[in-house]
A = this chain, B = another copy of it.
Amino acid sequence: MAKAAVLGYGTVGSGVVEVLDTNSAEVEASAGEKVEVKYILDLRDFPGDKHESQIVHDIEVILNDPEIDVICETMGGLEPAFTFEKRALEKGISVCTSNKELVAAHGPELVRIAKEHNCSYLFEASVGGGIPILRTLNTSLKHEKIDSITGILNGTTNYILTKMDREKIGFATVLKEAQNKGYAERKPEADIEGYDACRKTAILASLMSGQYVKYEDIETEGITKITQEDFAYARSLGMSIKLLGMIKKNNSGFFTMVSPFLIPSENPLAFVNDVFNAIVVHGNMLGSTMYYGKGAGKQATASAVVADLIDLVIHKGSHMDVNLTDSPADLSDNGSYVHRFFVRVDENSEDQAKELFGSSIEVIESKDVFGEFAFVTDLISEKDFKAKYAQLVKAKGFLREL
């Protein structure tokens, strides 16, 4: 019998307990032994709750109990989660977590501490919610040379973009509606400004490179500037607009970015709608594979935490390698990264556009947009593009094309 403690009895924490209750036979068969939740740490009491008797308010009770094999940290936020995880690992107690903020900020350090104390630190649920992407990168795809990871990593923004596209409603209206439905937070910045996707991109980039990619170093743009006009053009191009976390490794360097992208319909990410997340991984032998599912939600996220918990029980007393090190990643300047850009411009600017970007630019018209047109550039570096775009007198915005 393995004994676990759950830190935080909120949405994900109570989901973890629910998964362990509901699927106890499957969990036992997978882990090779029964898994019991001995403690649930929370500041609150839960009178009448089925697990009331397991609630404790003091982390010391958990850390000083030699019976505890594994801890699931589902509190979120940096502190006190960081201190609690660190102290557990220093005692040789393995930890799994859904806390993307903490993993993005201190993951490499926590993995090192786990290694030093012969225990493990796993964080499947921190990226893509219930989608088993990190375990797949660490097992099935570990022998591939991964040259890109591109993902829809935030369900709230994908929901907003899907609704803007389908129902032809503006960003502000859809955001308000999403907030009313509880799909978006009252303070929506973490989602709509791309900060959440940025942390997940940092974790994926770190695992892909085996080095530490700081989330602060990732150029991040949210979806607040996306308009109905953008979608109208996207439809005439047969494309979708999605907020992507993008990581590319090629001969010119290692690039990371969070930004809205126009996505051609040949790319399976173009059809990932509503609150779903999906991650496309491209390997040198395997080609592209995509992993799709619920990027958030109580039970799906909890299921991913439990998958880690089971792995930790199976590997008690040993360190599971997760290819995440302290050594800082050598990110290239995005200025040299090359792609196509979609540009909107005033209707009388075609001459200037062609002068700047060449006569081969692809001009796009939409029957739903008046007084302007758009064009798609040839392949051009971010740096060159921005220099030219700055000279475009009547520019009305641009998007990157995947």
- Bound-state Cα–Cα, A30 to B140, Å: 10
Beyond A30-B143, A290-B293: 17 further Cβ-contacts under 8 Å? A23-B143, A29-B142, A130-B286, A132-B136, A132-B139, A135-B139, A139-B307, A142-B307, A142-B310, A268-B276, A285-B302, A286-B294, A286-B300, A286-B303, A287-B297, A288-B293, A289-B294
- Bound-state Cα–Cα, A307 to B299, Å: 29
* A-B complex: 4 closest residue pairs judged by Cβ atoms: A132-B140, A289-B293, A271-B271, A290-B292
A247 contacts chain B at the CB level, 8 A cutoff? no
- Bound-state Cα–Cα, A283 to B307, Å: 13
**Beta-carbon contact of B27 and A143 below 8 Å:** yes
**Beta-carbon contact of B268 and A272 below 8 Å:** yes
A189 contacts chain B at the CB level, 8 A cutoff? no
- Bound-state Cα–Cα, A132 to B302, Å: 22
A360 contacts chain B at the CB level, 8 A cutoff? no
A116 contacts chain B at the CB level, 8 A cutoff? no
Query: What is the distance, in angstroms, from A51's C-beta to the closest C-beta of chain B?
Result: 17
Query: What is the distance, in angstroms, from A115's C-beta to the closest C-beta of chain B?
Result: 15
Residues of B within 8 A of A272 (CB): 268
**Beta-carbon contact of B143 and A303 below 8 Å:** yes
15 of the cross-chain contacts (CB-CB < 8 Å) are: A19-B143, A23-B145, A132-B289, A135-B136, A135-B140, A136-B136, A139-B307, A268-B271, A268-B272, A286-B293, A287-B294, A287-B297, A289-B292, A290-B291, A291-B292
* Nearest residue, chain B, Cβ from A289: B293
How many copies of the shown chain assemble into the complex?
2
Q: Which residue of B18, B292, B304 contacts A268 across the interface (Cβ within 8 Å)?
A: B292
Known contacts A143-B27, A268-B272, A287 near B293 by CB under 8 Å? yes
A226 contacts chain B at the CB level, 8 A cutoff? no
Residues of B within 8 A of A15 (CB): 285
* Nearest residue, chain B, Cβ from A130: B286
Residues of B within 8 A of A287 (CB): 130, 293-294, 297, 299-300
Interface of chain A residues 375 through 399 with chain B (CB within 8 A): none
Query: What is the distance, in angstroms, from A72's C-beta to the closest C-beta of chain B?
Result: 14
Query: What is the distance, in angstroms, from A283's C-beta to the closest C-beta of chain B?
Result: 7
Residues of B within 8 A of A285 (CB): 15, 18-19, 22-23, 299-300, 302-303, 306
